[in-house]
Amino acid sequence: MFTGIVEALGRIEKLEAVGGDVRLTIATDGAYLDGVNLGDSIASNGVCLTAVALPRKAFVADVSVETLDATTARSWVAGTPLNLERALTAHKPLGGHMMSGHVDGVGHLVEKHVDARSWRLTFEAPQLIARYIARKGSIAIDGVSLTVNAVAGSRFEVNIVPHTWENTTLGALVPGSKVNLEVDLIARYLERLLEARQA
């Protein structure tokens, strides 16, 4: 589980095709990966990855075909910046919202404009997941926990405060940029429970 509070920025150092899928080496500066163990989960742009090797100031993770097909990972190249978050622990503050690191779909940025000292971004989500996005609800965009300000059909708006703009990959997005979306867990489970009850 994750919270969507980005802890560090990483970058893809190396990509290798291995048996039909991909092995990534993701590097980060400083001591961020100190204490990470083999098998630990690290959300990378919202995608839950498992550390299978730990070279200095980096971790290696395998990305399955399913993940390549369901996320923006297929477009990642050496040098791609990534938002990183280690898995939630009992002593860690829950500053964002509960996330699984299982991306629901890929959306794209429609437009962005300055809103006082912040930025207001409009995204379009795939119709299959748009129904889970609610005004004042939570959504994760490339692993960043955000509040939905407005919804119109499959489009929704979020506001990015200066700290988030400067310390995540969101500030580099341009109209057309693709992003990983994870909708609120509670909405998905409620729908499933209602389906079961109706059946």
Q: What is the pLDDT of residue 89?
A: 85
Q: What is the mean pLDDT of residues 20-33?
A: 95
Mean pLDDT calculated for residue range 42-48: 98
- Quick one: which of 49, 79, 146 has its CA closest to 107? 146
- What is the tens place of the pLDDT at every residue in 159-196? 999 999 999 999 999 999 999 999 988 887 887 788 87
Residue 111: the pLDDT is: 98
State phi, psi for 44 to the nearest 5 degrees.
Answer: -125, 105
pLDDT at 199 over 80: no
Residues 6+ apart with CB under 8 A from 137: 147, 148, 184, 187
Host H or E run for residue 193: helix 185-198
Residues of the chain with CATH 2.40.30.20: 8-86, 105-198
Percentage of the chain exceeding pLDDT 70: 100
Residue 132 pLDDT greater than 90, yes or no: yes
For 128, the 3-state DSSP assignment is helix
Average pLDDT, integer, range 153-161: 97
pLDDT per position as a tens digit, 85-131: 999 887 787 888 989 999 999 999 999 999 999 999 999 999 999 99
CATH architecture of 8-86: Beta Barrel (2.40)
Name the more confident of 133 and 95.
Answer: 133
CATH topology of domain 105-198: Elongation Factor Tu (Ef-tu); domain 3 (2.40.30)
Q: State the alpha helices, DSSP H only, in the chain.
A: 65-70, 127-130, 162-167, 185-198
Could you identify the residue written with the tokens 């109209």?
Answer: 175
Give the torsion sign (CA, 33, 35, 36, 41).
Answer: negative
Torsions phi, psi for 68 (to 5 deg): -60, -40
The closest of 184, 107, 100 to 153, measured between CA atoms, is 107
Q: Name residue 48's beta-bridge partners.
A: 43
Q: Report the run of H or E that residue 43 belongs to, with start and end.
A: strand 41-44
- CA angle, 80 then 166 then 111, to 5°: 75
Predicted structure pTM score? 0.93
